[in-house]
A and B are shown apart, each in its own frame.
Chain A
Amino acid sequence: MITKRIIPCLDVKNGRVVKGTNFKNLNDVSSPVELARYYSECGADELVFYDITASYEGRQLFTDILKEVASQIFIPLTVGGGINTVEDFDRVLKCGADKVSVNSGAIKNPDLISQAARLYGNQCVVLSADIKRVDGQFRIFAKGGREDTGIEAIGWIKKCVEMGAGEVVVNSIDTDGVKKGFDIEMLKAVRAAVNVPVIASGGAGSAEDFVTLFKEIPDMDAGLAASIFHFSEVLIPDLKRLMKENDINVR
């Protein structure tokens, strides 16, 4: 049967990988190509590249870097950040991306999801949702977590899946960077609402947090993290070993 996926996320700005706490105070971590190769060699199941400033400043993804990564790394690659049109899909897919993640672009124009799904298939379209609790409600945030859209998250995710999103990344702004574990409550709510793969993001501080995730929500598909991997606080081979010891199916 399909294994649970461990996905390092590389937030890219000016050609470098960065990661901040609650999306602020970004620190330069390393070269995207070097990190990607390292992760691929140590057993990452997939890589996600976000151009975190693209939607804010309207900048285009650094396709040269993506191309360099895709020519050397042979595991699935998801690319996001600044994806506003089907032409943006086309651009990153030609550079070797397998899936394209939409966030602000889908909020501005939800038809983007159905258009892209028709052209490239649902499996290619990933909805990335930055979610934060506001007044007791799960709320969708845009522009890299800077802007409250007022949209209720669960309904939004359901709508996007109906339109053709083949996978959902749930990033909890409430737990992001806090390193005390995934947002189990939020993730359970999303998992129950849709029948496509759901990827948990935001809050992992240790290998045990991944075990807790897959034990608490057995039909969760993947766990995503950034800084704990970039700073070698959690090594993927150790994490996989721990998951295996806990009877979680891994590669």
Chain B
Amino acid sequence: MIAIIDYGVGNLFSLESSFRAIGQEVRVTDNTDEIRKADKIILPGVGAFEDAVKKLKNTGLDLVLKEEAAKGKPVMGICLGMQMLFERSFEYGCHEGLGLIKGDIIPFEGEIASSLKIPHIGWNALEIKEDLPIFRHIKNGDHVYFVHSYFAQVTEETIAKCEYGTVFTAAVGKDNIYGCQFHPEKSGQVGLGILKGFCELGG
């Protein structure tokens, strides 16, 4: 069973539906026991970084997530959920993230040509690292759907890159911790393929 952590931000209907569509049992939950029992955990997120981290920490589920991740359970952050896995974000100030992935989240503004619109919204191509189980159902150059104004720079933990005025991290992976900047639940068959790849991971 996949647990999607419900900490009161955003709408999880599509995300939940997308797991059902690939035949995966899924629960949207804020229940600690359920999250501990799950095979894998999804950390969703939309909106502002500071607000989302605060809400997650208020529920105490950040600690559950970290403990389960430390046991080797596969975890995937999506969009703002991916950003929250990092150490810090510079969205309206400087805010601490969960620190499961090394690096910072920084704004596109100032990093890319001013003729490019912010947020980066739309379908863009992935440059994926080869031979990763999570990407077994997709291929290099496949398009996924992005909506974001902040990004993670490319590091050694980057497993997929994308280009929008600058090259940035589209997906990260470190041991059992994964994150997607894009929305797999809005990226058609490619997105479902990535979720399927994640569901099939051991751990």
Taking beta carbons and an 8 Å cutoff, which residues of A are in contact with B? 1-3, 5, 40, 45, 67, 70-72, 74-76, 93-96, 98, 121-123, 166-167, 195-197, 221, 251
Contacts and interface: CB of A to CB of B under 8 A. Distances in A.
Interface string B45-65: 011000000000000000000
Interface string B163-194: 11000000000000000000001111001100
A75 B145 contact: yes
9 contacts: A2-B121, A2-B124, A3-B143, A40-B188, A45-B123, A67-B13, A72-B17, A76-B145, A76-B186
Given A74-B21, A75-B186, A98-B186, A93 B11 contact: yes
A195 B13 contact: no
Contacts of A121: 46-47
Contacts, number: 71
A241 to B, nearest CB: 15
A195 B109 CA distance: 14
A74 B186 contact: yes
Contact of B13 (A2, A70, A197, A221): A70
B122 interface: yes
B20 interface: yes
Contact of A70 (B14, B121, B124, B147): B14
Contacts of A45: 122-123
B188 A72 contact: no
A93 B124 CA distance: 24
A74 B188 contact: yes
A74 B187 contact: yes
A166 B122 CA distance: 13
A74 B192 contact: yes
Interface in B43-100: 46-47
Contact of A75 (B47, B124, B188): B188
A152 B92 CA distance: 36
Contacts of A75: 145, 186-188
A240 B185 CA distance: 23
B119 interface: yes
B122 A96 contact: no
Nearest to A90: B11
Contacts of B14: 70, 74, 96, 98
Contact of B143 (A40, A67, A72, A251): A251
B191 A1 contact: no
Nearest to B195: A74
Contact of A197 (B11, B117, B124, B192): B117
